[in-house]
Chains A and B, each alone.
Chain A
């Protein structure tokens, strides 16, 4: 299992800047995060707990796992991501980097590795009501439905 200690550093930094009222942290196979106050930390949330957490969250920091990012987009969040890098033994391959690059081009997420920490305003990344990401995912669903229908697969 791959650890991802780098994410802790980013979370610490963001928490120290915005001082949130509450912070839920799922740390997975990485060591238990230290030094973050007001944190409810657990190694793994269940699927239902996770959904409830992102549903009520204003800000969403995550590794660049497709599941997390897509679920974040679905509820109108702008995921702040740190992609796992294979050269740092954070994952098997570079697929998180590839996903990050492409969604970054579409402005659906922020790569924290490229963050300008001096001039950043985190209020820009609070849950938006624009729903760009959500409608993009809907369009994928629509297209899949149409393409299957076209040759009578459904």
Chain B
């Protein structure tokens, strides 16, 4: 199966949410995980479906992320990038825009009353922007409510 969808997230909850969201088309997905803690990432089924990039929040590692995504997009040519956060969504979307790849952001299910910093950061560069809470739509006009949790 061609891996034409990139699913970008950090480890932990963001990755679990990404798996839940993409469960019905996971065979088409390449999962890109930022290795917040290498020792935990060691347990991942690293291989042809999972790639690990630096965990860049700011500074040098975030800077490196841009090159990593540039390389990954160049090699794998995905047609869609989906991210559930956290900060790794930002470089992945910026580079996706350069390549003309569509971007989809899904705010975490934990964000009921106030959005994450990442959501604010990537809102403008997301082609589709999903939230779980109607309260967040007031802040993000184009947001689509995936499943209402209010």
In the bound complex, CA of A66 to CA of B16 (Å): 8
Which chain A residues numbered 16 to 61 have a C-beta less than 8 Å away from chain B? 44-50
15 pairs of residues in contact across A and B, judged by CB atoms under 8 Å: A47-B11, A65-B13, A66-B109, A67-B12, A67-B17, A68-B13, A70-B13, A70-B20, A95-B112, A99-B112, A101-B112, A141-B24, A144-B21, A144-B130, A153-B128
In the complex, the answer to whether B149 meets A102 with C-beta atoms within 8 Å is yes
* Contact with B130, one of A50, A95, A147 (Cβ below 8 angstroms): A147
Distance in angstroms from A101 CB to nearest chain B CB is 7
Given contacts A47-B43, A66-B13, A153-B80, contact A142 B24 (CB under 8 A): yes
Q: Is the CB of A66 within 8 A of B110?
A: yes
Expressed in whole angstroms, the Cα–Cα distance for A75 and B51 within the complex equals: 26
Cβ of B16 to closest chain A Cβ, rounded Å: 4
Task: Indicate whether A115 reaches chain B with its CB closer than 8 angstroms.
Answer: no
Which A positions have Cβ atoms within 8 angstroms of B? 44-50, 65-68, 70-71, 74, 93, 95-96, 98-99, 101-102, 137-145, 147-148, 151, 153-154
| Best-surrounded residue of A74, A95, A144, A145 (most CB of chain B within 10 A) | A144
A128 to chain B, nearest CB (A): 19
Q: Which of A98, A99, A144, A145 contacts B106 (CB 8 A)?
A: A144
A interface secondary structure, majority: helix
Q: Which residues of B contact A (CB under 8 A)?
A: 5, 11-17, 20-25, 28, 37, 39-45, 80, 102, 104, 106, 108-114, 116, 128, 130, 144, 146-147, 149
Compute how far the CA of A138 lies from the CA of B114 in the bound complex, rounded to whole angstroms.
Answer: 25
Decide if B110 touches A96 in the complex (CB within 8 Å). Answer: yes
Taking a contact as CB atoms closer than 8 A, the residue among A44, A45, A68, A140 that contacts B21 in the complex is A140
